[in-house]
Amino acid sequence: MTETKRIAFDADLARRLVATQFPQWAHLPVRPVVFGGKNNTTFHLGDEMSVRLPSARHYVAQVEKEQAWLPRLAPQLPLPIPEPVGLGAPGEGYPWPWSVYRWIEGETAALERIADLSQFARDLAAFLTALQAIDVTDGPVAGQHNFFRGGALSTYDAQTRQAIIDLGETIDGATALSIWEQALAAECSNPPVWLHGDVAAGNLLVKDGRLSAVIDFGILGVGDPACDLAIAWTLLHGPARAAFREALPLDEGTWARGRGWTIWKALIVAAGLSGSDDEERTKSRAIIADLVGEHR
Judge whether residue 1 has pLDDT over 50: no
- Which residue segment(s) compose the domain that 63 sits in? 11-102
Q: Is residue 174 domain-shared with residue 291, that is, in the same domain?
A: yes
CATH number at residue 288: 3.90.1200.10
User: Do residues 114 and 259 both lie within one domain?
Assistant: yes
- 120 with 255, same domain? yes
269 is a domain residue: yes
Average pLDDT, the chain: 95
Residue 114 and residue 98 share a domain: no
pLDDT tens-digit profile of 98-125?
999 999 999 999 999 999 999 999 999 9
In a domain? residue 6: no
pLDDT per residue as tens digits for the range 22-64:
999 999 999 998 765 678 999 999 999 999 999 999 999 999 9
Domain assignment present for 1: no
Q: Are residues 114 and 46 in the same domain?
A: no
Q: How many domains are contained in the chain? A: 2
Same domain membership, residue 228 and residue 119: yes
Listed residues 102, 125, 141: the one ending a domain: 102
Predicted confidence (pLDDT) at residue 4 exceeds the cutoff of 70: no
Q: 66 and 126 share a domain? A: no
* In-domain check, residue 2: no
- Three-state SS string over the chain comes to CCCCCCCCCCHHHHHHHHHHHCHHHCCCCEEECCCCCCCEEEEEECCCEEEEEECCHHHCHHHHHHHHHHHHHHHHCCCCCCCEEEEECCECCECCCEEEEECCCCEECCHHHCCCHHHHHHHHHHHHHHHHCCCCCCCCECCHHHCCCCCCHHHHHHHHHHHHHHHHHHCCHHHHHHHHHHHHHCCCCCCCEEECCCCCHHHEEEECCEEEEECCCCCCEEECHHHHHCHHHHCCCHHHHHHHHHHCCCCHHHHHHHHHHHHHHHHHHHCCCCCCCHHHHHHHHHHHHHHHHHHC
- The reply to whether the predicted model has a pTM over 0.85 is yes
